[in-house]
Amino acid sequence: MRGLIIKTTGSFYEVLSQDNGQLYTATLRGKLKISGLKVTNPIAVGDFVHFEEDPKNHEKGVIYEIAARTNYIIRNSTHKTAHGHIIAANIDQAVLVATLVQPRTSLGFIDRFLVTAEAFRIPVIIVLNKSDVYDEDMEKYAQALENMYANIGYPLLHTSVVNEKGIDTLKSTLKGKKTLFSGHSGVGKSSLLNLISPGLGQKTQEVSNFAQKGVHTTTFAEMFRLPEDTYIIDTPGIKELGINEIASEELSHYFPEMRALLNQCKFNNCLHVNEPQCMVRTAVEQSRIPLSRYNSYLSMLENEDNRR
């Protein structure tokens, strides 16, 4: 049978059968675990698999094949060196939920996520949540971020769970698509999802006052089906997002504003650091490429641990 992975818990997978609509709890056939994949999780939410029903228990099964993926979002594993961890597969778009305070999401983290998605041309919508706590300066900063990312090609929405700002707009962007929700713990992913679809009943928890960091409320990645052929994948909060599977010479290809200038540099293998007649650095100096984006690029380039 062919099935869709809707939840992973490490050792077990919840599989929705494409043949009979039944939900199965499945395990992975042993030989697939040693197939040479450089990932800690060979199967991710969103994967299509082939599995056999357990003849002794018609609610269980064994997965024996993983179908080819159209795309996936991956990060470096926090537990196993030189391995990646697939966050989700076969998605139409991603929503990155970020906050300016309580907790603060760095622009470096946002840019790393965008690069990871850009590697598979996965559209990303940036959601700046908790807009109800902005003061005047933060309002101006949030608007500047919206302008910057919109000019690059990434729409940015301002939302608030408290006054439901931007919720209807966010809902409309999700209709008929399979969307990954991601971000740091504590940015309000679960609260947003509960507003989008109250029936989900996602657990929420306050941000830690001690460290101003989020507390994990989502333990495992899980896919939810909403009306109008809409799917949402909720994921555990990400503390760090190392870049995986992107070589140094390819990194600038995943910055749209840099990619447009690559054939204008003097050297084909220009890394845009200190090479002469580099059009990317010229664009930064002329403020045609935001300095924060260029600094994010340099940070990813310099940190060898972020690329495998």
Q: What is the CATH number of the domain that holds 17?
A: 2.40.50.140
**What is the structure's pLDDT at 83?**
76
**Statement to judge: residues 180 and 288 lie in one domain:** no
Q: What is the CATH number of the domain that holds 94?
A: 3.40.50.300
**Statement to judge: residues 161 and 25 lie in one domain:** no
Per-residue model confidence as pLDDT tens digits over 6-55: 999 878 999 999 999 999 999 998 766 545 567 888 899 999 999 999 99
Instruction: Establish if 131 belongs to a structural domain.
Output: yes
**Statement to judge: residues 36 and 158 lie in one domain:** no
**Statement to judge: residues 177 and 295 lie in one domain:** no
The reply to whether the predicted model has a pTM over 0.75 is: yes
Q: Domain of 99?
A: 72-234
Instruction: Establish if 242 belongs to a structural domain.
Output: no
**Statement to judge: residues 209 and 88 lie in one domain:** yes
Per-residue model confidence as pLDDT tens digits over 147-160: 999 999 999 999 99
Per-residue model confidence as pLDDT tens digits over 195-234: 998 877 554 443 323 233 333 344 578 999 898 889 999 9
In angstroms, the CA 193 to CA 89 distance is 20
In angstroms, the CA 107 to CA 156 distance is 13
**What is the structure's pLDDT at 36?**
55
In angstroms, the CA 220 to CA 124 distance is 22
**Statement to judge: residues 229 and 81 lie in one domain:** yes
**Statement to judge: residues 191 and 107 lie in one domain:** yes
In angstroms, the CA 105 to CA 293 distance is 15
What DSSP line would sit under 57-119, residue for residue?
EEEEEEEEEEPPPS-EEEEE-SSSTT-EEEEEES-SEEEEEEESSSSPPPHHHHHHHHHHHHT
Residue with tokens 């080819």: 68
In angstroms, the CA 75 to CA 307 distance is 10
